[in-house]
Structures are given as structure tokens and as C-alpha cells.
């Protein structure tokens, strides 16, 4: 089940870098998280607080793989893509690429579980959410 890619821009600031003006490795995971959040916002799940309080569901990261290929540096303009590459029951696997231009700097694969926060249990993703995540215009 392959979807289309959502793309989110990120600018690199001093706070993102180490003493050598190179992005600190853990910050790429923060960039990926921001893109996933904006992906959900784009799909119509914009008010995160309301979703947590009213709808009582959330995606929780179960597994992350990151392949670091090249560094980003101070003032780079990057894009972070987000694409659902697999969906089974309560689990969605997302492929994210962090790029500078056409160059892939980091590839992140995230397995996230859709969780009912009231019951604190995984639950099958709703069909409408799956369809929205599969096709991003």
C-alpha cells in the first residue's frame, strides 16, 4: 500500500547544530516528527490538543530506523517528506526522506501504532484515515 509524499520545509538554525555548524544527529528525528505532525495537520487533524482531549487517539512510535548519509549544515534549507509505505491493522509504516535539493541526507523509517488513549490499547486505524494517508495530492 504505497501512498504519495507529503513534503515539509525545514531551515537549519544555530540551535540545530553542534560546535562545527553541522546538524546534531538526534535533531533529524525532531525534523521527522515535525513533518509527521504537519502531515496529519494537512490531512485535517490540525488541532492536536483537541484530538488528544476529544477524540482520544494518538500515533505512538514503536520503532525507528535512521540511515545517515550526509550532514546538513547551518542555514541549509531542507525538505522532509512523509509517505505511508505499509499499513496493517493499528500500525502504519512511514518512510521519510530528509533532503537538501535532490540529495537524500537521512532516510527515516518509522513504525507508528494508532492508540486509543482512553483504553491505552492499539486500535485498528479508521478506513477514512487510511485512505487519506494513502493519497496525498
Catalytic residues: 18
How far apart are the C-alpha atoms of 122 and 54, rounded to whole Å? 17
Q: Which residues neighbour 132 within 8 Å (Cβ) at sequence distance 6 or greater?
A: 43, 44
Cα distances from 83 to residues 56, 89, 134, in angstroms, run 24, 17, 8
Looking up cell 482531549 gives: 53
In this structure, how many other beta carbons lie within 10 angstroms of the beta carbon of residue 36? 22
Amino acid at each position: 500500500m504505497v501512498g504519495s509524499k507529503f513534503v515539509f520545509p525545514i531551515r537549519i538554525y544555530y540551535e540545530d547544530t553542534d560546535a562545527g555548524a553541522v546538524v546534531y544527529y538526534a535533531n533529524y528525528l525532531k525534523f521527522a516528527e515535525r513533518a509527521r505532525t504537519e502531515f496529519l495537520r494537512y490531512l485535517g487533524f490540525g488541532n492536536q490538543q483537541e484530538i488528544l482531549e476529544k477524540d482520544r487517539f494518538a500515533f505512538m512510535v514503536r520503532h525507528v530506523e535512521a540511515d545517515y548519509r550526509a550532514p546538513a549544515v547551518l542555514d541549509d534549507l531542507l525538505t522532509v517528506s512523509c509517505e505511508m509505505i505499509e499499513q496493517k491493522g493499528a500500525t502504519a509504516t512511514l518512510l521519510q526522506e530528509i533532503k537538501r535539493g535532490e540529495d537524500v541526507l537521512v532516510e527515516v523509517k518509522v513504525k507508528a501504532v494508532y492508540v486509543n488513549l482512553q483504553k491505552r490499547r492499539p486500535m485498528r486505524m479508521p478506513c477514512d484515515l487510511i485512505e487519506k494517508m494513502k493519497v496525498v495530492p
